[in-house]
Chain A
Amino acid sequence: MEAGGVKLLKSKWFWVVAFGSLFAFSIDLWAWDWVEPSLFGLPYVVTYIAVLEAALFVLFFLFAKYYWIDAEEGNT
C-alpha cells in the first residue's frame, strides 16, 4: 500500500497545482519595487529567481521520479 505522500505525487492535479503555483510565484508583483541586497550583494530579484530555479529543479526531480512513468512500462 502506497504512503499518502507518494500517492499525492502520482496525482496529475497535484502537479498541475505545483507547477502552476511555481509559475505564479515567478510573477512577484507584491515585491516589484524591493531592492534590498541579499546574497553576495545581489539584489532581491536575482536571489529570488535563483531560489525559484532551485525549487523548479526539485519539482522536476520529483515529477520525473514519481509521475513520469515510461510508456513502455504500459501506462502513464
Chain B
Amino acid sequence: MNLLSVGMFIVYLASLLGIGYFTWRRGHKTSEDYFVASRSFGPIVLFLSLAATNFSAFTFFGFAGAAYKFGLAYYGIMAFGTGFMAISFYIIGRKVWLLGKKHGYITPPELIGDRMNSDSLRIIFLAVMVVFTLPYLATQAIGGGIAINQLTEGEVSYELGAVIVTAVILVYVTVGGMRADAYTDVLQGVLMLVTLLAAVGIVSAGLGGFSEANSRLATEFPDLVSRPGGFDFFTPQIWISYMVLWTLCDPMFPQLFQRFYAAKDERSIRISMIMYAPITAIMFLLPVLIGAWGNLEFPGLTGKEPDNILPMMVDQFAPSWVLGIMLSGAFAALMSTADSQLLVLSSMLTRDVYKRWLKKGASMKEEFIVGKVLVVILALMGLGLALTSVETLFETLTKTTFTGLAVLFPTTVAVLYWKRVTKWGCIGSILAGELTYVGFHFGVIPSDAALGFLTVMPVVAVSVVVLLAVSYLTAPGLRRPEGITEG
C-alpha cells in the first residue's frame, strides 16, 4: 500500500467533508434549501455540477474499456451525442426552471403531475425514475469499494471500501443537501478533468509521444481507428441510435432534471449549455484514447478485463502514487453521481410520497427533516444492495436505465409545450413505452424488429405514437395554467 497515494485520497475525502460542513453553516432548514439550494446556483456551479453529475464512473472506466474493444470511433457516439443533448437545457431546463420558480416545484414528478392535474401520472413518473435510479446508486457504491480495494492494494476489503465511500457521501449530503452536493461537484469536476489530462500526458509519453501512439495504433490495430471498428460494433444504425439516445435519456436522469430547479437565473442555464460542447469534446476524448492505446501494451484482454485498462495503463507508465491520484479522479466521478442520485431520490420520496400521501400539511421544515432521514435510509439501501448478491436484478436494471428513462422524454416535452396533451396520453405513452421495452428485453418482441437499431428507437417511437393517439382520442382535462409570462 502506497502511503502517499492513500494519504492524498484521505485529503480528498476530508475536503468533501469540509465542503459539507461549510455548506451546512450556510444552509437554511427548509426543503427548498435542502433539495434545490434555494434556487441559487450561478453559472459556474451549475455547469460544473451538471457535468460532474452526468459523468459517472462509467466515463472513466467504461469509456476506456469500450474504446479498447471497439476503437476510437467510440468518441463520436459519446461526445457529440452528449454535447448535443445540451439543447435540452433550453427545451426542458429553461421551462422547468421557470415553472419551478413560479410554483415551487422541487422534484420532476411533482411538475409533471401538477401540470396535468393527475396524481396517477405523478406516481407513474415517480415509479419509473425510482426504479431506474436506485440500482445505479448501488452501482456507485460497488465502484467505490472496488477502487478503494485497488488503491490499498487489497489491504482494505471491497466491502469496507463500499462502506467508506457511502459513509462520506452520506455525511456531506445529509448535512449540506444540494448545496454540498453541487459544491463538491465543482471540486470533483475539476479533479476528473485534471486527472484525465494528466493520465493522457503520462501514457502518451510512455508510448513515445501523442502522434506516435496514434500512429502505432493505426498500424498495429487498423480496425480500431476506423468503422465498423472492433467486433464490427459501429453500424450506421448503432451510430444513429446512440446519437439519439443521449439526447432523449440524459435530461430524464432525475438528478440532472432537478438541477434545473437549482439555477439562480436563465443566464446560468444558458452558459451551462454553451460550455457543455467543449467539456464533452475534451473530457470524453481522454479515456477513449487511453483505452484504445491499451491494445499496444495489453493486447488480448477479454471479458470484463478491458474495464480496468485505464488504471492498468497509468500503472504501466507512472509511479504508483500517481495511480492513487488517478483513482481519486475516478472516485470524484462516481461520488458526484451517487450523491446527486441520493438527494433526488430522497426529495422525490419526501415530496411525491410523504407530503402528497402521508402528511399533506407537512411544513418545509418537516420535509427538510424527513428528507435527511430518507437520505440515510436510501444510502443504507444502496449499500445493502452493493454488499448482497442481487446481481441479476441489479444488472438488468442498470443495463436498462438509459432506455427506461428515455421513455419519459416525449411526455415531458408534451407537458411543457403541447396544449392538446392529456393525462391519459401521458400515462399511455409511459406504460406503452416501458412495456415495449420489457418485451424487447425478455425476447417477447424479437430483436430483429428493431432493424439493427438500439431498442430505444422503437421504444420511444411507440411512446410518441401512443402519446399522440391517446391524447387526440381523450378529452383534455383540467390543466393548471403555467402562470409565466412568455408567448
Q: Which residues of A contact B (CB under 8 A)?
A: 19, 22-23, 26-27, 29, 32-35, 37, 40-43, 45-46, 48-50, 52-54, 56-57, 60-61, 63-64, 68, 70-72, 74-76
Known: A26-B76, A68-B266, A72-B266. A60 touches B485 (CB 8 A): no
Count of B interface residues, CB-CB < 8 Å:
46
> In the bound complex, how far is the Cα of B485 from the Cα of A19, in angstroms?
26
A28–B281 Cα gap in the complex (Å)?
18
Q: Does B83 have its Cβ within 8 Å of any Cβ on chain A?
A: yes
Find out whether the CB atom of B266 lies under 8 angstroms from the CB atom of A70. Answer: yes
Q: A70–B274 contact, CB under 8 A?
A: no
Chain A residues within an 8 Å CB radius of B90: 63, 68
For A48, list chain B residues within 8 Å (CB): 76
Q: How far is the CB of B264 from chain A (nearest CB, A)?
A: 12
Pairwise interchain contact B277-A49, C-beta atoms closer than 8 A: no
Q: Which of B131-166 contact A (CB under 8 A)?
A: none
Q: Which of A22, A23, A49, A60 contacts B276 (CB 8 A)?
A: A60
> Which chain B residues lie closer than 8 Å to A52 at the CB level?
80
Assembly CA distance A34 to B72 (angstroms): 13
The residues of A that contact B485 with a CB separation of less than 8 Å are 71-72, 74
Closest to A56 in B: B277
* Distance in Å: Cβ of B48 to nearest Cβ of chain A: 17
Interface pair A49/B86, CB less than 8 Å apart: no
Q: Dominant SS at the B interface?
A: helix
A62 CB to nearest chain B CB (Å): 10
**B268 CB, nearest partner CB in chain A, Å:** 11
Q: Name the residue in A19, A46, A70, A74 with the highest tally of chain B Cβ atoms < 10 Å from its Cβ.
A: A46
Measured between beta carbons, the chain B residues less than 8 angstroms from A70 are: 265-267
Residue in contact with B227 in the complex, picked from A32, A40, A50, A74, CB distance below 8 Å: A32
Q: How far is the CA of A63 from the CA of B274 in the complex (A)?
A: 9
Q: Which residue of B lies closest to A45 (CB)?
A: B73
In angstroms, Cα B90 to Cα A13, docked, is: 15
Chain B nearest CB: distance from A41 CB in Å? Answer: 3
Q: Which residues of A contact B75 (CB under 8 A)?
A: 45-46, 49
Given contacts A26-B84, A41-B213, A53-B278, list 10 more A-B pairs with CB under 8 A.
Answer: A19-B84, A23-B243, A27-B243, A35-B222, A37-B225, A60-B276, A60-B277, A63-B90, A71-B484, A74-B485
Is B117 located at the chain interface by the 8 A CB criterion? no
Within the assembled complex, what's the spacing in Å between the Cα atoms of A75 and B484?
Answer: 10
Please provide the 9 A-B residue pairs with the shortest distance between their CB atoms, ordered closest to farther: A41-B214, A53-B281, A43-B225, A57-B277, A41-B211, A56-B277, A35-B226, A64-B270, A49-B76
A54 and B281 contact, Cβ closer than 8 Å, known pairs A41-B218, A61-B274: yes
Whether A35 contacts B274 by the Cβ 8 Å rule is no
Closest-by-CB residue of B relative to A57 is: B277
Q: Is the CB of A68 within 8 A of B270?
A: yes
Residue B240 CB within 8 A of the other chain:
yes
Query: When the two chains form the complex, which single residue of B212, B214, B225, B281 contacts A50, counting CB atoms closer than 8 Å?
Result: B281
Asked if A27 contacts B239 (CB within 8 A), the reply is: yes
Bitwise, B433-469 to A at CB < 8 A (1) or not (0) is: 0000000000000000000000000000000000000
B226 touches A43 (CB 8 A): yes
Question: B218 and A27: CB pair below 8 A?
Answer: no
